[in-house]
Chain A
């Protein structure tokens, strides 16, 4: 007679509640992770803008300048965002061989790298552009 009784047992209710809590916690965790990624890519976007600006500014450097010679590595430049210094940017110049052009070092590849740390997360973004020697 007791076996046919309708309703839930305590064990069933506890199991259901535990599964629900795990599902809700998982959902809350995913929201938190999503928010963190938005914050992370906010700085990444600003760093990309910084790299683009630095590469653009290098176009004003004369071609024969030693800072644009193959093998040059620039000293780090502070990378600031919203008033805070988050990291550094720097560039290096490496030789580039375009097979369609004569010679072995016919272009220069300028690699601009922005490094930053926010919280415990270290991140970086690199942007490259080819230069005529």
Chain B
């Protein structure tokens, strides 16, 4: 009987308590790691989408500046609304038809540019919450607010002078 008790005590393996303790500790460690991974992934995603939106805002400002410089005059209109306007650029002084447009499309909330309205795809992939122009006889002022995929707002403004 004593020999039998001794052999049971020396049996290899883990008790239920040991397994439970290991599983609880393992679950806590895994939960911490998964939480850290998800938080890091969210932080990285937020930062990278914001950086992309910043680049896109700069791209829009640069494209508008370049187009305004080669134009003679421009007409800004509140189409489709006062917060999202349309800019029509005229190459020469006597032109009746604009040579280039910048506009915000309400169907996709994106900024488009082209020689005809509706004739080209979006310039950038970030949605525009504000796209406003102030057009004078010598220059155009543009104010832009883009929204990144994670909801961060990026503002950009620029002024361009007619040089044609």
Contacts and interface: CB of A to CB of B under 8 A. Distances in A.
The A interface is mostly helix, strand or loop, or mixed, namely: helix
Interface residues of B, number: 25
Contacts of B111: none
Nearest to A48: B58
Interface of A: 24, 27-28, 31-32, 34-35, 38, 41-42, 45-46, 48-50, 52-53, 56-57, 59-60, 81-82
Nearest to A30: B40
A81 to B, nearest CB: 7
A35 B43 contact: yes
B76 interface: no
A50 B157 contact: yes
Contacts of A49: 58, 61, 156-158
Nearest to A59: B161
A45 B57 contact: yes
A34 B47 contact: yes
> Which 8 A/B pairs are nearest by Cβ-Cβ distance?
A53-B159, A38-B47, A35-B47, A59-B161, A31-B43, A56-B159, A31-B40, A38-B51
B73 interface: no
Contacts of A46: 155-157
Interface of B: 36, 40, 43-44, 46-47, 50-51, 54, 57-58, 61, 65, 138-139, 141, 153-161
Contact of A28 (B40, B61, B156): B40
Given A42-B154, A45-B58, A46-B156, A60 B47 contact: no
Contacts of B46: 35
19 contacts: A27-B40, A31-B40, A31-B44, A35-B47, A38-B47, A38-B51, A38-B54, A41-B51, A41-B54, A42-B54, A42-B154, A48-B58, A49-B58, A49-B157, A49-B158, A52-B65, A53-B157, A56-B161, A57-B161
Contact of B155 (A24, A27, A82): A82
Nearest to B145: A82
B158 A52 contact: yes
Contacts of B158: 49, 52-53, 56
Nearest to B57: A45
B54 A28 contact: no
B159 to A, nearest CB: 4
A57 B158 CA distance: 10
A122 B134 CA distance: 32
B50 A42 contact: yes
Contacts of A59: 161
B48 to A, nearest CB: 8
